Chains A and B, each alone.
Chain A
Amino acid sequence: MGDALNQKENQEQTFRTIEISVFRYNPYSKHSKPRFETYSLSETPSMTLYIALSKIWATMDHHVSFDFVCRAGICGSCAMVINGKPRLACKTRTEEFLDGKITLMPLPTFKHIKDLQVDTGSWMNAMSQKVESWIHTKEKTDISKIEKRVEPDVAQAVFELDRCIECGICLASCSTRIMRESFIGAVGLSRVARFAIDPHDERTDADYYELVGDDDGIFGCMSLMGCEDHCPKELPLQTKIAYMRRKLVSQAIKS
């Protein structure tokens, strides 16, 4: 029994200490000033930043604010800037940072709530409304009949884009969006592509042009590929943005 205890203690001693610096600021408080607060903690095997932040909150600082829901890379709430890169905290292991130093910041370009919390939801909702993110069809659904056939490749391409979790990382990785806040970003453009691919949607290219055919939309994109290279769901953003660009430019030339 004693040996087992010693062994456990020895194991714990081999864990390294990591330092996590967290951006702290409450824009709603008169007294709050932006600063970084550093927390030292013992790293456990396979520790993710979700676990690390929970540990900080539970054992060190009850005031630090951050968002999490699913802790499995599905909900997109925990997107934050980790050592400069926008990523999902729940999908990021602390062990990959060899020097054990991690700096956390909230996602830029979204409304800051407090510390690591931002409001991505309001923006995403407005984006969905702007690009009319729903199937536009005059066809009445008749559930007594078999659905129209959709080619598996087409269905797959639609499903692929449906995997977007609206985490906001594409926008936080995009220098165009950083400079020009009215730019709709990869999330908006890939959303339009999702409906443009889907045969259920009866909208034409001219209709899509009305949604994103300007410098806030497809023609604002400068192909810096921050979105493509940081998307935690590895969505095909590069190809789908190019697809929309080709579609809308040829629509404009034809009209």
Chain B
Amino acid sequence: MNKAEIYEFLTSRNKQKKKSRTPARLDAIQSATGAILALFIVFHLIFESSILLGKEAMYRLTKFFEADFIFEGGEPLIISALAFVVFVVFVLHALIAMRKFPASYREYRRYQTHRHLLVHNDTNLWFIQITTGFMMFFLGSIHLYTMMMQPSKIGPFASADRIFSDGMWPMYLMLLVSVVLHAGIGVYRLIIKWGVFDGVQPQQNRLLAKKIIKWLIVFYLALGAVSLVTYIKIGYEHQEHYGERYHKGVKE
């Protein structure tokens, strides 16, 4: 057995009678992984909305990410690899952030009663964060697993078929709402937590940050919803030809 662990177990200190530096690292890793995931989502939702510019635009972007400028016809394994990397960051973030969840019924009950008494915006925002975080344990895993295992099934028709004919749209709708709220609120809390935009007027800057984040949430929710509806519409129209793929230059 590792002696260092025994020392900490018995004394809450290491051999030099110092406190563990792990809580500091966990705090930093939680923030860093959260920031990476939020940044990823910001671009993901934009790329996904390429369907709003038409099937051809979405097809080209998909092929671009499959690096068709290097591999002829594109290499979907690149998407698998990317999904795997995101999955690792996602699991790491979930694992570390989970330690902040209410850990018992007592903690949960006390938090709920307190927030209902307090009526305080930031305290309530945290409830949205733990709820959406919990939802994404499942929703995020479904989505990332699909992307890792079926990376070739991305495209104007393939995605639309998955969303409509494979019955994935309710999952995507819930995932969209969860991920946008969680990322938006998370970024706001990162700004506060590390004092990113404190400046000389930290209170005003906090309000400004909140306002900007609020509008970004509205924008991304709207963008995601419109994109999802577009995929549903394409999937609905394409259901008779389920499984058929879109090909470059095919007239819409």
Contacts and interface: CB of A to CB of B under 8 A. Distances in A.
A200 interface: no
Interface stretch (A46-54, A115-123, A126-134, A171-179): A171-179
Contacts of B20: 214
B194 interface: yes
Contacts of A175: 111, 114-115, 118, 123, 126
A219 B23 contact: yes
B54 interface: no
A81 B189 CA distance: 26
Interface residues of A, number: 37
Interface in A201-216: 206, 209-210, 213-215
B26 interface: yes
B24 A251 contact: yes
A229 B27 CA distance: 23
A214 B25 CA distance: 11
B242 to A, nearest CB: 46
Contact of B21 (A215, A236, A252): A252
A85 B192 contact: no
Interface string B13-35: 00000111101111110000000
Contacts of A224: 120, 122-123, 126
Contacts of B26: 219
A70 interface: no
Contacts, number: 104
A252 B111 contact: no
B198 interface: yes
Interface string B109-147: 011001111111011001000000000000000000000
A245 interface: yes
B193 interface: yes
A184 interface: no
B233 interface: no
A110 interface: no
Contact of B25 (A179, A242, A253): A253
B98 to A, nearest CB: 13
Nearest to A236: B202
Contacts of B119: 84-85
Contact of B195 (A210, A246, A252): A246
Interface of A: 81, 84-85, 108, 173, 175, 178-180, 206, 209-210, 213-215, 219, 221-226, 229-230, 236, 238-239, 242-243, 245-246, 248-249, 251-253, 255
**Closest A-B pairs by Cβ, 4 of them:** A242-B195, A252-B24, A84-B117, A252-B21
